[in-house]
Amino acid sequence: MPSGSEFPTDAEVYQWLGESQIDVFTRLSVFAPLACVIAPTQLTTADNGLTYTFATDSSLPTSFTDVYPIGVVKLYRTRNDIPDFPMIEGVEYLMEGNRIRMPDFVAFSGTAPYYQCLTLPTALDGTTAPTLKPVQARELMIDLASMAYFRAVSDTESSNLWEDRFNKDWSKWLGAIQTQYARSGSIAATHTSQLPARHRWYRGLRGY
C-alpha cells in the first residue's frame, strides 16, 4: 500500500480519472470513432502558412504542447467544402505527425484550413472537467479509477469486482454508441476513412 498521511490524495484521484478517460476514449476511437470526432476547427500557423498545427494543450510538458491528432484526419480549405471536398493528402498537404506542411515550400493561400479528427482528452484537475460523452458513460471512468485504487492497495478481490463491472458497462455503452452512429448500408461508423456514400450532385465539381 502506498505510504503517506493521506491516500489517495486529490491529485492521485484526478490522475486515475484522467487516465481512465483516456483509456475509454482510445477504446472508442477504435470501435466507434465517429463518436469522438471534434467539430470543424481551424488550424493555426506560426510561419505564415508553410506549416500548420492542430491546437495546443497546456496540460502537456512545455516542449510537447502541440496536440497530436488521432485516427483519420480530414482537412478542408473552407467551411463550405465540408464534407464533400476534403483536401488530398500528399497532393495539397503533407502530414508530419502533429502538424501539416504545404508542398513545394509554397505557403497556403487564404484563411487557415479547417480540420476534423480525434484528439485525446486533456488531463483532469479541480478546474478541468471530463469531456467524455455521453455524460452518463463517464461511469466507465469511475469503474477504471476504482480498479486502479484497489490495485494500489493490493485488494485483488475488489479490483476484480470493479473490472467485471467495467466489462459489463463497456459492453452496454459500446453497443449503444455504435448503434447511434451506424449508417444504413454503410461502414462509416467504424471506418472514418470511407468517403460519403453519395456525392451531393447539386454541389457540382470543385476546383482550385
Instruction: Tell me the backbone φ, ψ of residue 207, rounded to 5 degrees.
Output: -135, 155
Query: What's this model's pTM, rounded to 2 decimal places?
Result: 0.78
At 185 the pLDDT is 46
The model's pLDDT over 183-202, given as tens digits with 9 standing for 90+, comes to 644 444 455 555 454 556 66
From edge to edge, which strands make up the β-sheet containing 41-42? Answer: 41-42, 114-119, 69-76
Whether residue 201 is contained in a domain is answered as no
Yes or no: say if 139 and 65 are a contact pair by the CB < 8 Å rule.
Answer: no
Residues of the chain below pLDDT 70: 1-5, 58-64, 183-208
User: In the prediction, which pLDDT does 204 show?
Assistant: 66
Q: Provide the residue range defining the domain that includes 100.
A: 10-196
Q: What pLDDT does 125 receive?
A: 85
Instruction: Residue 36: name the closest of 59, 67, 69 by CA.
Output: 69
The total number of residues written for the chain in this structure? 208
Degrees, nearest 5: CA angle 160-149-124? 125
Q: Which amino acid is present at 144?
A: L
144 domain-assigned = yes
**Residue for grid cell 467495467:** 166
Sorted by sequence, the CB contacts under 8 Å of residue 40 that are 6+ apart come out as: 76, 79, 82, 114, 115, 116
Q: Look at residue 4 and tell me if it is in a domain.
A: no
pLDDT for position 191: 52
The verdict on residue 89 lying in a domain is yes
Q: Can you give the pLDDT at residue 189?
A: 46
Residue 71, pLDDT score: 85
Residue 203 is assigned to a structural domain of this protein: no
pLDDT of residue 7: 81
Burial label for 171, CB within 10 Å (0-12, 13-18, 19+), is: exposed
**Strand 94-95 to 69-76 pairing:** unpaired
**How many structural domains does the chain have?**
1
